[in-house]
Structures are given as structure tokens and as C-alpha cells.
Amino acid sequence: MKEHTVTIYDISEKAGVSIATVSRVLNNSSNVSENTRKKVLAAIKETGYTPNAFARGLGLNTMKTIGILTADSSDLYLAKAIYYFEEELRENGYDSLLCCTGYELKDKKAAIDLLISKKVDGIILVGSHFVYPDACDNKYIYGASEKVPVMLLNAEVEGDNIYCVSSDDHDSVYRATMKLVESGHKNVLYYYNTTSYSGHLKERGFRDAMKDAGIEVTERQFQFFDGSNEDIHGMSAQLEKAASAGLKFDAVIASDDTLALSAVKYAQAKGYNIPDDFSVIGYNNSMLTNCCDPEITSIDNKVETLCKHLTSILLGVLSGEEMPKKTVFKADIIEKGTTRLNKD
């Protein structure tokens, strides 16, 4: 008794109609008499028939799938973004093909090619790591955009069929730095772990604020942490090392909540009183900010808002509408226990 997967032919036979009619009821297509529709639906229910997605894909040239690329789906921030994308897309009938690429350019290229060969309808690049300072390294994005719309979260690339949604990182770090300075901090350390596009913007924000505040900065104030995203120990240790090498700082502004948390741990190990002796500002306003005591003041770049907007733009593009190529949101500074910022 060979298992015969039920096809549209079986249904047509059982219902006593042609396959075209079956297809019509399947697609809620125009003009099917209530009577035959019922017959067909009955046959479908009886057999448990489901249309073959490949055949359908072949005919329609789409399987309603969006490729989501991210360096690391287990990163707190990226994971959140993926979550929102997946949710929004599915609510609109699209599935998500996920690719975690790591941080190597060649792996990103490979993943994007693979997604395109699998005929995704669009591609979302989650996180600023996909855009490189050297324009040449961004060619692969243009390549992809020739085939399908490419959406960037927290990054910016100009081009046909490329759409960007981001948070104004320069502005938010600028404002945060200013507040720190205005509340009396002279020696602010900038602690970062990414040299991506948005990473540069953040750093720029810091530099510009210091400049506008008339405070000289030295390169030692810029601490780059080059290790795992989860290595809180290592992060604290680096601050400790910098301090014992003579670097003075009474505040840290971090490009990421993890770094901020490590700064809190560092300061507490030193016996500093937060926020009186020492201030910290993080980035992303993730749950990590609530994990220590006092809780961490952090920049909230509203990932949910960004993701929902990005998705709606993508859906618009896919249905042929004209959509904005670039959308920028302002971030909020969420003040908690690691700062005492004078004014608003």
C-alpha cells in the first residue's frame, strides 16, 4: 500500500470538478459557486490535503520568505530584533529564513548568495556590522539589491532597492555625553567594542560633544574591547588595567550595555560610589541594565519601533509601493541609578 501524497488532482476527482476550480477555491479566487466551493472544501478537509509549496513557488516564483541575516542571533540586541522581525513578517504571511553569519565578510557574502539562490523575496541585514567603512566591501549589498529589496537595520547604504532604518546614534551619544559633562564629569571614558558603521557614529557623537564642551580628549580615553560579547570579566579587567596604568576617569559611556555593566562592576570593585563618584551610561537599554545595583542609565534606541517600521517598509516595497529609502528615529536616554544628570 504505497503512500500517495494527496494532490490537487485527488481533490478535483473527489469533488468532481477540474483542478482549476480547486485552485480557485484554494486561492479564494473570483467566481466559484457556493455549491462547488463547499464540495471542494469538503474533499480537502476529508483528505487533509495541503498544497505543495514547491509547485506553488514554481508557478508564482515566490514562497513568501524573507531572508534574515545577522552576525550572531544570540546577541541580546540582535535576538530581540530578530524576534520582532519574525513576528511582524509572519503576521503578514511571510516566513523567515535565518542566517547567522558571524562577523567575517566572506561568510556574509556566502550567506546572502545562498539566500538569494533560495529565492527569498527580500533580505534584512540586522545590525550595523554588515556595512564596512571601505565602500568596496559593501559591493555585495548592491549585488543582492539587484535581485531583491535589501533592508538595513542600524546601518546606511545608498542605492537602488536598498532601504535603511536606524536610530540616530550620533545624536544620542552626543546628548548623553553632554549630560555627563554638564553634571560635572570631566574625565569620561568611551568604552566600545565595535567599529561598525553605527559604532563610528557613536564615537563621533562622543567626540563632537567633548569638543563642543571644550574638553580635550586623548586617545587613551577610547577603550576598545576586543573580546567576546559575554565576557564581562574581561571587560572589567580591561578598565582595571587602564586605571592602574594611570588613566583617570570618573565616568564611562559605553557602546553597549554589556560594557556598561562591566564598568559598574569595575567601579564597585574599586569601592567607588555610584553615581556620586562614578557614572555609567549604557546603550540599548536591555535587561542587563536592571541586573545590577544601582541600575544602569542607558540609551534606548527603541528596537521594537525600528523593527516594525522596517518590516512595514519592506512589505510596502514588496507590494510595489514607493517607500522612504532612509528612516531615522531619535533615541531616548533612560535615566536610572548610575547617573545623576542635571537637566533635561
Partner DNA sequence: TTGTAAGCGTTATCAG
Partner DNA sequence: CTGATAACGCTTACAA
Distance CA 171, CA 256 (A): 16
Minimum Å distance from CB 269 to its own copies?
7
Three-state DSSP at 340 gives coil
d(CA 179, CA 188): 11
Q: Which is nearer to its own copies, 98 or 215 (CB)?
A: 98
CA distance 169 to 199: 8
User: Residue for cell digits 483542478?
Assistant: 19
* CA angle at 295 for the pair 293 and 299, rounded to the nearest 5°: 160
Q: Which of 32, 41, 100, 323 binds DNA (CB under 7 A)?
A: 32
Q: How far is the CB of 266 from DNA (least distance, A)?
A: 56
| Nearer of residues 86 and 203 to its own copies, judged by Cβ | 86
* Residue 262 in grid coordinates: 562591566
Q: Does 100 bind its own copies (CB under 8 A)?
A: yes
Alpha-helical runs (H) found in the chain: 8-15, 19-26, 34-47, 53-60, 76-91, 105-117, 139-145, 169-182, 197-212, 232-244, 257-270, 303-318
The DSSP bridge partners found for residue 300 are: 332
Q: Does 104 bind its own copies (CB under 8 A)?
A: no
Query: Which residues from 185-224 bind its own copies, rule CB under 8 A?
Result: none
Give the nearer residue to DNA in terms of CB position, either 60 or 291. Answer: 60
Instruction: Report 113-132 residues binding DNA (CB under 7 A).
Output: none
Any contact of residue 148 with DNA (CB under 7 A)?
no
**Binding footprint of DNA, residue count (CB under 7 A):** 32
Contact 97, 65 (CB under 8 A): yes
Whether the upstream peptide bond of residue 51 has omega within 30° of 0, thus cis, is no
Question: Grid cell 494532490 — which residue?
Answer: 7
Span of 24-32, 182-190, 228-236, 318-326 interacting with its own copies by CB under 8 A: 228-236
As measured in angstroms, the least distance from the Cβ of 47 to its own copies is: 14
Nearer to its own copies, 32 or 232 (CB): 232
Residue from 8, 17, 259, 261 that binds its own copies (CB under 8 A)?
261
- Decide whether 48 or 246 has the Cβ nearer to its own copies: 48
Residues forming the site for its own copies (CB under 8 A): 50-55, 57-58, 61, 63, 65, 68, 72-74, 76, 79-80, 82-83, 86-87, 90, 95-100, 111, 114, 116-119, 230, 232-233, 258, 261, 265, 268-269, 287-288, 290-293
